[in-house]
Amino acid sequence: GEDVEQSLFLSVREGDSSVINCTYTDSSSTYLYWYKQEPGAGLQLLTYIFSNMDMKQDQRLTVLLNKKDKHLSLRIADTQTGDSAIYFCAERRISGTYKYIFGTGTRLKVLA
Protein backbone atom coordinates (compact mmCIF):
# COMPACT_ATOMS: atom_id res chain seq x y z
CA GLY A 1 0.00 0.00 0.00
CA GLU A 2 0.88 3.68 0.08
CA ASP A 3 0.93 4.08 3.85
CA VAL A 4 3.54 6.10 5.64
CA GLU A 5 2.90 5.50 9.31
CA GLN A 6 3.60 7.60 12.36
CA SER A 7 2.38 7.58 15.92
CA LEU A 8 -0.14 10.32 16.51
CA PHE A 9 1.12 11.87 19.73
CA LEU A 10 4.32 12.42 21.65
CA SER A 11 4.79 14.32 24.87
CA VAL A 12 8.19 15.28 26.30
CA ARG A 13 9.56 17.60 28.96
CA GLU A 14 11.42 20.73 28.01
CA GLY A 15 15.13 20.02 27.74
CA ASP A 16 14.69 16.32 27.01
CA SER A 17 15.24 14.74 23.61
CA SER A 18 12.30 13.90 21.38
CA VAL A 19 12.31 11.02 18.94
CA ILE A 20 9.61 10.89 16.29
CA ASN A 21 9.38 7.69 14.29
CA CYS A 22 8.08 6.89 10.83
CA THR A 23 7.83 3.77 8.72
CA TYR A 24 7.41 3.86 4.98
CA THR A 25 6.62 1.23 2.40
CA ASP A 26 8.33 1.87 -0.91
CA SER A 27 11.91 0.66 -1.20
CA SER A 28 12.34 2.79 -4.30
CA SER A 29 11.97 5.97 -2.28
CA THR A 30 15.04 8.10 -2.72
CA TYR A 31 14.37 11.13 -0.54
CA LEU A 32 12.69 11.18 2.84
CA TYR A 33 11.58 14.39 4.48
CA TRP A 34 10.50 15.83 7.76
CA TYR A 35 8.07 18.73 7.72
CA LYS A 36 6.88 20.77 10.70
CA GLN A 37 3.47 22.40 10.96
CA GLU A 38 2.93 25.00 13.66
CA PRO A 39 -0.61 26.07 14.58
CA GLY A 40 -2.24 28.12 11.83
CA ALA A 41 0.74 27.78 9.53
CA GLY A 42 1.68 25.72 6.51
CA LEU A 43 4.14 22.88 6.42
CA GLN A 44 7.74 23.94 6.73
CA LEU A 45 10.54 21.72 5.46
CA LEU A 46 12.79 20.87 8.40
CA THR A 47 15.26 18.48 6.88
CA TYR A 48 15.57 15.66 4.39
CA ILE A 49 17.80 12.69 3.82
CA PHE A 50 18.86 10.90 0.69
CA SER A 51 18.32 7.16 0.77
CA ASN A 52 22.01 6.28 0.45
CA MET A 53 22.66 7.96 3.80
CA ASP A 54 22.18 6.48 7.25
CA MET A 55 22.27 9.67 9.24
CA LYS A 56 22.09 13.40 8.82
CA GLN A 57 22.66 15.98 11.54
CA ASP A 58 21.62 19.60 11.43
CA GLN A 59 22.06 21.52 14.69
CA ARG A 60 19.54 20.05 17.14
CA LEU A 61 18.05 17.72 14.55
CA THR A 62 19.31 14.23 13.78
CA VAL A 63 17.70 12.06 11.12
CA LEU A 64 18.34 8.33 11.16
CA LEU A 65 17.42 6.07 8.27
CA ASN A 66 17.23 2.30 8.38
CA LYS A 67 16.59 1.22 4.81
CA LYS A 68 16.34 -2.44 5.63
CA ASP A 69 13.46 -1.85 8.02
CA LYS A 70 12.12 1.17 6.08
CA HIS A 71 12.29 3.17 9.28
CA LEU A 72 13.01 6.87 9.60
CA SER A 73 13.37 8.85 12.79
CA LEU A 74 13.79 12.47 13.76
CA ARG A 75 15.56 13.28 17.00
CA ILE A 76 15.27 16.76 18.46
CA ALA A 77 17.87 17.45 21.11
CA ASP A 78 17.15 19.83 24.01
CA THR A 79 13.48 20.11 23.04
CA GLN A 80 11.97 23.56 23.59
CA THR A 81 8.36 24.69 23.95
CA GLY A 82 8.70 26.27 20.48
CA ASP A 83 9.17 22.79 19.07
CA SER A 84 5.55 21.95 19.88
CA ALA A 85 3.96 21.28 16.49
CA ILE A 86 2.84 18.48 14.18
CA TYR A 87 5.69 16.69 12.43
CA PHE A 88 5.07 14.97 9.12
CA CYS A 89 7.25 12.34 7.56
CA ALA A 90 7.15 12.13 3.75
CA GLU A 91 8.70 9.92 1.14
CA ARG A 92 9.46 10.74 -2.44
CA ARG A 93 9.20 7.90 -4.88
CA ILE A 94 10.93 7.55 -8.20
CA SER A 95 8.06 5.57 -9.64
CA GLY A 96 5.23 7.38 -11.36
CA THR A 97 5.24 11.14 -11.13
CA TYR A 98 7.59 11.62 -8.19
CA LYS A 99 4.77 12.56 -5.91
CA TYR A 100 5.19 12.94 -2.18
CA ILE A 101 3.51 10.48 0.18
CA PHE A 102 2.92 11.93 3.63
CA GLY A 103 2.30 10.30 6.96
CA THR A 104 -0.48 11.09 9.42
CA GLY A 105 1.69 13.49 11.39
CA THR A 106 2.89 13.25 14.99
CA ARG A 107 1.72 15.94 17.37
CA LEU A 108 4.60 16.83 19.67
CA LYS A 109 3.73 18.50 22.94
CA VAL A 110 6.55 19.95 25.00
CA LEU A 111 5.83 20.35 28.69
CA ALA A 112 7.52 23.17 30.57
Partner 1 sequence: EAGVTQFPSHSVIEKGQTVTLRCDPISGHDNLYWYRRVMGKEIKFLLHFVKESKQDESGMPNNRFLAERTGGTYSTLKVQPAELEDSGVYFCASSQEKGLGEKLFFGSGTQLSVL
Chain contacts with partner 1 (rule: CB under 8 A): 3-4, 8, 30-31, 35, 40-45, 48, 88, 90, 92, 94, 96-105
CA dist 3 and 103 (Å) reads 7
Q: Which is nearer to partner 1, 33 or 79 (CB)?
A: 33
**Considering the complex, what minimum distance in angstroms separates the CB of residue 49 from partner 1?**
12
Q: Which is nearer to partner 1, 45 or 77 (CB)?
A: 45
CA dist 51 and 104 (Å) reads 21
**Considering the complex, what minimum distance in angstroms separates the CB of residue 47 from partner 1?**
11
**Considering the complex, what minimum distance in angstroms separates the CB of residue 41 from partner 1?**
5
CA dist 26 and 4 (Å) reads 9
**Considering the complex, what minimum distance in angstroms separates the CB of residue 80 from partner 1?**
22
Q: Which is nearer to partner 1, 64 or 102 (CB)?
A: 102
CA dist 11 and 19 (Å) reads 10
Q: Which is nearer to partner 1, 62 or 102 (CB)?
A: 102
Specify whether the backbone of 96 is left (phi greater than 0), alpha (psi in -120 to 50) or beta: left
2-18 burial, b at 16+ Cβ within 10 Å, e below that, comes to: eebebeeebebeeeeeb
